[in-house]
Amino acid sequence: MGKPDTNALDFGLTPSATGTGPTIRVAPRAPPTKSDLSWTLFMIYACSFLEGADVQLLPASYRALESDLGLSPSTLAAANLFQGITLAVFSVFWGVLSDNGILAPHQILFGGCTGWGILTLLTAAINDTSWILIIRLFNGVALATLSPTTQALIASIAPPQERGRYFCWLGFMLGFGAMVTAIMTTAISNLTIYPGVKGWRVAFAIIGLVSIVLGNFVKRFAVLPADLAHWEEKIEKEKIEPETPGGEPLSFTSELKTMIRFFEVWSFAVIVLQGCFGCIPWSAMAFGTMFLQYSGVSDFTAGCISSVMLFCSSFGVLIGGYVGDNMNRWSRFHGRPFTAQIATGIAVPTAVIFYSVLPRSPDSIGTWFLLVTIFGLFCTWSEFGVNRPILTEVVSVKHRARILGVMCAIAGSAGAMGGPLVALISEQCFGYQTQHRPLHEDIRRNNVNALGLGLTVMCAVPWTICFLAYGALHWTYEADLSKLHRFDVQTPLNSKRAGSDDEEWLNEPPFGVGGSPCP
């Protein structure tokens, strides 16, 4: 007889590993219907839409917050930094709770959606500038619930060979929510909707209320897929048998050791390194709308340019997933790294031309629209086309959620520095002056030049480092897969099999993908 699997979580569905007595069994619940799962999937995508909207609210209101409350770029960047850090760090926390069956994914999602809704409502009511930092700090904790929960739910709802498509649509809804918010909030942010009430307050209030309503829908109608029913079974079992002999309790030390061991996988270390730099430009570009407004572009046009980039980026995520898969079939161990290098190779000159080469005036509007279209369609391939598929291949199935959480925490925390660095460089190196009242033309020109140079530095330099880091995957990718397969009974790796259309290969990685490495 074989040895019992002592590493498996025992939720009362298997014989006791200790052999001391029978394990109490819990009657299985009826599996959810297809309609139930469809509604759950709809609510997951709706939550993703609202998360994108909530994240974009603050950048779309930068100019209005500066003029209405007198917030400097440093304060606005600090608010984004606080939110970005807690969003990154707590994605690991929620992932651990979900992986270990402490809270079910849909319960975490309900709490997160309701939480960020309440905090967004509070933001709409602030007048004291210090409160925005505190509120955005806790808002990041709530937003962090989305990545680990949607990963667990979608991976269980979707068949393995279709998970990439399901997750790409999740990314599309995230970008679509950000796009709608960018264009609508920027357009009304400086308008007086009611005496004493600016448009940015109305935008925050609407998103907050809708999020609270959706959170209650999640609580009432979301269901767990059949293979995630162990969360409910575990709760029922613990009511009858609180302590399981031989059970290993969750501990900080064991989780930390597991996370540290991830760095023994060289491809993971490379992806984390590039993520630390690659997320910086995305955080820095929160000042992109403000740059366009200082360039003499109307609020509506600036919002349209930002929205076009977000809209094209959403489609770029979809394109990147398919391009990465096809490149992987073309070359098993070099296709995905080449995909990432193409994306970052296009991003660097695009950013330099946008922020530094073109005249900073309304005369450049047409070219700006063209550049953001190119950027959105081609420079967003790495996440779904490269990073996530590779990470699902180089570690075992039971570690996929946490390894993505660790990458999100490290890369997201580093990436959150992008906004503050733009503010620091613009103010300290290039002479940006905070404006609270109408300013003279020479100050406006100085500010737009300072912002443009700061954005150029914080986009071009990190993406160049990313391009070089992705080059290392040409060597580490194959080595890590070979090492993993020496300890795992799987189909031997070879280019012919990897490039075939065989149905069995479709059930293997990289199609089981999930989570978000950069909030």
> Could you report the per-residue pLDDT of 58-72, keeping only the tens digit for each?
888 877 887 777 777
Does residue 221 sit in the same domain as residue 271? no
Give dist(CA 75, CA 147) in Å, integer: 27
Does residue 201 sit in the same domain as residue 269? no
**Domain presence at residue 172:** yes
Does residue 296 sit in the same domain as residue 221? no
**Domain presence at residue 505:** no
Close Cβ partners of 41 (under 8 Å, ≥ 6 residues apart): 153, 154, 157, 166
**Domain presence at residue 268:** yes
* Helices 129-143, 34-60: crossing angle, 10 deg rounding: 150
pLDDT score of 472: 92
**Domain presence at residue 410:** yes
pLDDT score of 11: 31
Close Cβ partners of 256 (under 8 Å, ≥ 6 residues apart): none
**Domain presence at residue 128:** yes
Give dist(CA 455, CA 371) in Å, integer: 15
The last residue of one of the domains, among 211, 227, 243, is 227
Give dist(CA 476, CA 478) in Å, integer: 6
Question: Are 87 and 519 in contact, with CB atoms under 8 Å apart?
Answer: yes
List the domain range (segments joined by +) for residue 358: 259-489
Q: Tell me: cis bond preceding 462? Omega within 30 of 0 counts.
A: no
How many residues are given for the chain?
A: 519
The number of folded domains in the chain is 2
Does residue 189 sit in the same domain as residue 292? no
The last residue of one of the domains, among 207, 227, 247, is 227
Half-sphere exposure of 5 (CA within 13 A, CB side): 5
Q: Give 21: exposed, middle or buried? Use CB within 10 Å, 0-12, 13-18, 19+.
A: exposed
- Strands (DSSP E) contained in 113-262 are 192-194, 197-198
Question: Are 121 and 485 in contact, with CB atoms under 8 Å apart?
Answer: no
Q: Supply φ then ψ for residue 140, to 5 degrees.
A: -65, -35
**Domain presence at residue 75:** yes
pLDDT score of 466: 93
Does residue 193 sit in the same domain as residue 291? no
Does residue 271 sit in the same domain as residue 356? yes
Write the pLDDT tens digit of every residue in 284-329: 887 888 888 888 888 888 878 887 887 888 889 888 878 887 888 7
**Domain presence at residue 147:** yes
The last residue of one of the domains, among 179, 204, 227, is 227
Does residue 117 sit in the same domain as residue 194? yes
Question: Are 428 and 421 in contact, with CB atoms under 8 Å apart?
Answer: no
DSSP bridge partners of 194? 197
Q: Which CATH number fits the domain that encloses residue 451?
A: 1.20.1250.20
Sign of CA pseudo-dihedral 401, 406, 408, 409 = positive
**Over pLDDT 90: what percentage of the chain?**
16
DSSP summary character for residue 362: G
Does residue 210 sit in the same domain as residue 323? no
CA distances from 130 to 62, 104, 389, 418, 421 (A): 15, 35, 41, 21, 20
Q: Supply φ then ψ for residue 311, to 5 degrees.
A: -65, -50
pLDDT score of 471: 92
Does residue 327 sit in the same domain as residue 183? no
Does residue 222 sit in the same domain as residue 346? no
pLDDT score of 4: 40
Tell me how crowded residue 247 is: count the other CB atoms within 10 A of its CB: 10
Close Cβ partners of 40 (under 8 Å, ≥ 6 residues apart): 32, 106, 153, 157, 221, 222, 223, 225
DSSP string, 256-313: HHHHHHGGGSHHHHHHHHHHHHHHHHHHHGGGHHHHHHHTT--HHHHHHHHHHHHHHH
pLDDT score of 115: 92
pLDDT less than 70: residues of the chain: 1-32, 155, 158-164, 225-250, 396-398, 400-401, 415-419, 426-427, 429-441, 486-519
Tell me how crowded residue 165 is: count the other CB atoms within 10 A of its CB: 15
Q: Supply φ then ψ for residue 441, to 5 degrees.
A: -60, -40
Does residue 220 sit in the same domain as residue 75? yes
What is the helix (H) or strand (E) element at residue 155, kind and residue range? Answer: helix 146-157
Q: Supply φ then ψ for residue 197, to 5 degrees.
A: -120, 110
**Domain presence at residue 88:** yes
DSSP string, 91-143: HHHHHHHHHTTSS-HHHHHHHHHHHHHHHHHHHHT--SHHHHHHHHHHHHHHH
DSSP bridge partners of 197? 194
Close Cβ partners of 382 (under 8 Å, ≥ 6 residues apart): 278, 320, 339, 340, 343, 344, 466, 470
Does residue 59 sit in the same domain as residue 147? yes
Alpha carbon 388 to chain centroid, angstroms: 12
| CA R_g for the chain | 24
